[in-house]
Amino acid sequence: MSNTPTGIHHLTAIAGAPQANVDFYAGLLGLRLVKKTVNFDDPSAYHLYYGDETGTPGSIVTFFYWPGHEARGRVGAGQSTAIVFSAPAASLGFWQERLQRHGVAVARHTRFGEEVVAFADPDGIRVEIVAVADDSRVGWRAHLDIPAVHALRGMHMAELTVRAAAPTETLLTGTMDYRLVKREGNRARFEAASGGGSGHYIDVIADASAAAGIGGTGTVHHIAWSVPDDATELVMQNRLHASGYNVSDVRDRNYFHSIYYRERGGILFEIATATPGFLVDEPVASLGAALKLPAQFERARSQLENILPPLQPARRYV
């Protein structure tokens, strides 16, 4: 099947404190803050984007932050349940030492033959770094305290937890044209039809006993899949409608165009275009430096700047 998602575009979670979020993801993990903007559906919330030098699809993790909103969520079924990065094969020792040196508890384990370092971010979201030998992406190589040879490459896979796997797997292997590549216990790994390895995997965990996830701080809000252009997105919109999914209209997010739907296990999916990208309103050299607002909110800039707490450059972890 052609005209289907090529892999992960981005993952979006909910943070409790934006400065701690910047310090952790940009300072400690060495991702680049490529865009500082607002939730286009609710501009009272920050929307922070992290990724490689230019925010390439598949490298991007993003966070919402609502001032005064302190309701914690519950991680469980019907959610994406981890943020999983790829790193060079020989880098796990570097990352384990760096994290532990700065007070982050880590655990090591193996999954699908891959070595994994697991830990939690400041909001308790599970984060993993996986050693991957054949990931040709380079990540962001300009971080002051992280040698380029150890830079995180981008997302490794998307982890989906559901009570019953069959409906989710049917969507993946049918309308979305992913293929099953391996199973291990209650976890199954799927890869985009176009291949590509790291950044193109989806892991589905079947856990009939899992409590239902509740959205809020410390949870993943949604996961987005990448398509190359608007035409492909419209093809997917029609296919999803034909398969009985309630799909949104196309939303202009300035940096990509998106449609949204909820898969049968309850997880919010987005399909986002790879274009136009994050350079439409900032040059590479100053990505993420200024608060960027979509045109419809520019008239409220002063009000929004009063609502949103100021952000400082990421803390140095030396």
User: According to the model, what pLDDT value does residue 318 have?
Assistant: 86
The secondary element (H helix, E strand) that includes residue 182 is strand 178-184
Range 9-21 average pLDDT? 97
Its sign, for the CA torsion 307, 45, 282, 299, is negative
Residue-wise pLDDT for 164-199, tens only, equals 999 999 999 999 999 999 999 999 999 999 888 999
Peptide bond into 88 cis (omega under 30): no
Percent of the chain beyond pLDDT 70?
99
Kindly state whether residue 317 falls inside one of the protein's structural domains.
no
pLDDT of residue 1 exceeding 70, the answer is: no
CATH classification of the domain holding 18: 3.10.180.10
Range 205-223 average pLDDT? 97
Residue 136's alpha-carbon distances to 55, 100, 139, 300, in angstroms, are 16, 27, 9, 42
Range 90-96 average pLDDT? 97
pLDDT of residue 3 exceeding 90, the answer is: no
Q: How many domains does the chain have?
A: 1
Residue-wise pLDDT for 282-318, tens only, equals 999 999 999 999 999 999 999 999 999 999 999 999 8
Domain housing 123: 7-307
User: According to the model, what pLDDT value does residue 139 have?
Assistant: 93
Kindly state whether residue 24 falls inside one of the protein's structural domains.
yes
Kindly state whether residue 2 falls inside one of the protein's structural domains.
no
pLDDT of residue 222 exceeding 80, the answer is: yes
User: According to the model, what pLDDT value does residue 2 have?
Assistant: 64
Residue 219's alpha-carbon distances to 64, 73, 124, in angstroms, are 11, 6, 8
User: According to the model, what pLDDT value does residue 35 have?
Assistant: 98
pLDDT of residue 146 exceeding 70, the answer is: yes
Percent of the chain beyond pLDDT 90?
96
Kindly state whether residue 69 falls inside one of the protein's structural domains.
yes
Supply the mean pLDDT for the chain.
96
Residue-wise pLDDT for 99-115, tens only, equals 999 999 999 999 999 99
pLDDT of residue 268 exceeding 70, the answer is: yes
What are the residue ranges of helices labelled H in the chain? 18-22, 92-101, 165-173, 230-242, 301-307
Kindly state whether residue 1 falls inside one of the protein's structural domains.
no
Range 126-145 average pLDDT? 95
Question: What's the CA angle centered on 95, arms 94 and 96, to 5 degrees?
Answer: 95
Q: Going by C-beta distance under 8 Å and a sequence separation of 6 or more, which residues neighbour residue 10? A: 49, 51, 57, 60, 61, 62, 155, 223, 224, 272
- Rg of the chain's alpha carbons, rounded to an integer? 18
Q: Edge to edge, what strands does the sheet with 114-120 contain?
A: 107-111, 114-120, 126-132, 79-88, 154-162, 201-206, 187-192, 178-184
pTM > 0.95: yes
Kindly state whether residue 314 falls inside one of the protein's structural domains.
no
Pairing type for strands 220-227 and 268-273 reads parallel
Kindly state whether residue 312 falls inside one of the protein's structural domains.
no
pLDDT of residue 226 exceeding 60, the answer is: yes
Kindly state whether residue 318 falls inside one of the protein's structural domains.
no
